[in-house]
Amino acid sequence: MATSQVTKYKNYIGGQWVDCESGRTYPITSPASKTTVLGEFQISGPEDAAAAVQAAQDALQGWSDTPAPVRAGVLYRALEIMRERGDDIARTITIEEGKPLADAQGEVKRAMNITEYAAGEGRRMFGYTTPSELPNTFAYTVRRPLGVVAIITPWNFPIAIPAWKIAPALICGNTLVFKPASGTPLSAVKLVEVFEEAGLPPGVLNLITGPGSSVGNALVENPLVRGISFTGSTEIGTGIYTQGAALLKKVQCEMGGKNAVILLADADLDKALGGIVQAAFGSTGQRCTATSRVIVEEAIYDQFMEQLIDRTSKLKIGDGLDPDVDVSPLSSQSQLDIVMGYIGMGTEEGARLVYGGKSLSGGIFDDGYYVEPTIFTEVAPDMRIAQEEIFGPVLTVFKADGLEEAIQISNNVKFGLSSSVYTKDLTKAFQYINTVEAGMVHVNAPTLGGEVHLPFGGLKSSGVGQREQGTEAVDFFSEVITVYIDHAGAPRAQARFI
Ligand code: NDP
């Protein structure tokens, strides 16, 4: 492993870049180049988490007293810096997480959009007034920050997900401790540098890297932490939600998905194929909103399968830095092991492997974690590949005799994040919208994506707590205080209060 001249990155606590207490670090490598060490990062422990929380607590009064439109000024400067550095940040994402550069650029754009949107909230942050039932009484609501908030994020969107938590949390006046995924700490450092240079006062945003089991847990348990915003697996999210709720903290968890597309016989097949292939295999299937199931109406099944395989076979696999590449490496050896495990399981369970299924070797493939886009048919609804989140480029295809059966298959999983139907029939589209179990519903569009001024999140095991983004983000990151002001100017008969 090439470790000479490796940069050692630090934690950011109270406005200083510092080593963790133990002084221990860990290396990270690139998914497309396993032997290239991108940096050494701090293996923080509970004591570092406590120091970061204390720094955030110390900065809270000053930041929450800063008027929201002034806080917005810092976010607008951060936006400008992101614009200037967009290419460098996107390249970092590709080198560190593995996704194609165009996807990484889209991710940076998403981070910029949420920063801009959150900055605009600095001039809104609405409460409301309403008539009081008492004379000469003014009643209104106002928002206050939660306080210190822990931000815990996954590796698959190492810039956009932290940004869509950090920007709304900051505009609401909270101070933060950010714990990124252990696999993508370099992107996290780049993001924190942006906010530092934008002029965020010391202690308002703190960064600690290290294992979730020790650092993340210490954040969740710390009594000074009033809110937790988590994105990651359903397993870890469930534990955090349970633990946070028991301590009466405000918690939001965005978690896994098993997103399905329903393809009806009257749909524009070409459009549907484009959306399905992009959402199943783009970003190597490592998106929470990736399409992992397609439910096809019987009448067009054979035609669809033929064209699906044809399109999939044309995808170029390679290093995400190559602009022609469609499918880049998985993010790590453990992701490769998980995905290959599911592919093996699918075959053992009796599903029919009709395309792909192999990890790739030879040439550039030996340097990274490459797997072929993979398609299974004849998948029974109770098979593990039909039920569990694989988080890789593996698509399972089902046949249905019509919309009703298709919706039944779509809803027959514990997840409910994103969903899509392709049809030209408005009646069927609305029947779908009204019955599909998903937090985000698309018609004639892929399961991917979302806009920052609209809420993002899932039902069932995909999400719990308030939605992210949109005005819902302000709702999560603030407390609503109700105020009654008696301005009668003289004593009055006491009302009977309950
Ligand atoms: P994990 O749940 O493994 O980790 C998420 C974060 O939690 C990481 O920072 C991790 O740290 C940390 N963590 C781990 N254990 C604990 C703990 N005991 N206490 C506190 N924090 C802990 O998810 P992945 O990083 O593997 O991300 C992939 C998952 O994220 C997929 O399931 C995907 O669907 C989901 N996701 C959901 C989205 C949504 O909006 N619904 C969007 C994007 C992804 P460490 O890395 O050190 O283990």
Pick the CATH number of 11-255+462-482 from 1.20.90.10, 3.40.605.10, 3.60.10.10, 3.10.350.10: 3.40.605.10
Q: Give the pLDDT of residue 491.
A: 77
**Global pTM?**
0.97
* For residues 88-106, average pLDDT: 98
Per-residue 3-state assignment (H helix, E strand, C coil) for 289-305: CCEEEEEEEHHHHHHHH
- CATH class label, 259-443: alpha beta
What average pLDDT does range 436-441 have in this prediction? 98
CA distance 200 to 55: 13
pLDDT digits (tens, 9 = 90+) for 205-233: 999 999 999 999 999 999 999 999 999 99
In angstroms, rounded to a whole number, what is the distance separating the alpha carbons of residues 207 and 193? Answer: 10
Per-residue confidence band for 2, with pLDDT thresholds at 50, 70 and 90: very low
Q: 389-429 pLDDT, tens per residue?
A: 999 999 999 999 999 999 999 999 999 999 999 999 999 99
In tens, the pLDDT along 250-293 reads 999 999 999 999 999 999 999 999 999 999 999 999 999 999 99
pLDDT value, residue 3: 47
Q: Where in the chain is the domain with CATH 3.40.309.10?
A: 259-443
- For the CA of 239, the closest atom of ligand 1 is 18
Pocket test for ligand 1, best of 191, 233, 243, 342 (most atoms within 8 A of CB): 233
* Active-site entry in 107, 288, 372, 437: 288
Round the average pLDDT of the chain to a whole number and report it. Answer: 96
State pLDDT tens for residues 139-160. 999 999 999 999 999 999 999 9
What does the pLDDT read at residue 285?
A: 97
Q: Tell me how far apart the alpha carbons of residues 120 and 117 are, in angstroms, rounded to a whole number.
A: 5
Q: What percent of the chain has pLDDT over 90?
A: 97
Phi, psi of 30 (to 5 degrees): -90, 140
Average pLDDT rounded to a whole number, residues 372-392? 97
Does the annotation mark 193 as catalytic? no
Question: Which contacts of 234-237 are long-range, i.e. CB under 8 A and separated by 24 or more positions?
Answer: 234/389, 234/414, 234/415, 234/461, 234/462, 236/212, 237/464
Phi, psi dihedrals of residue 380, rounded to the nearest 5°: -80, 145
Name the segment(s) of the chain with CATH classification 3.40.605.10: 11-255+462-482
Cα of 110 vs centre of ligand 1, distance in Å, is 20
Question: Residues 16, 45, 180, 119: is their CA dihedral positive or negative?
Answer: negative
- Residues in contact with ligand 1 by the CB-under-6-Å rule are 152-157, 161, 179-183, 211-213, 216-217, 220, 231-233, 236, 239-240, 254-257, 288, 389, 391, 417, 458, 462
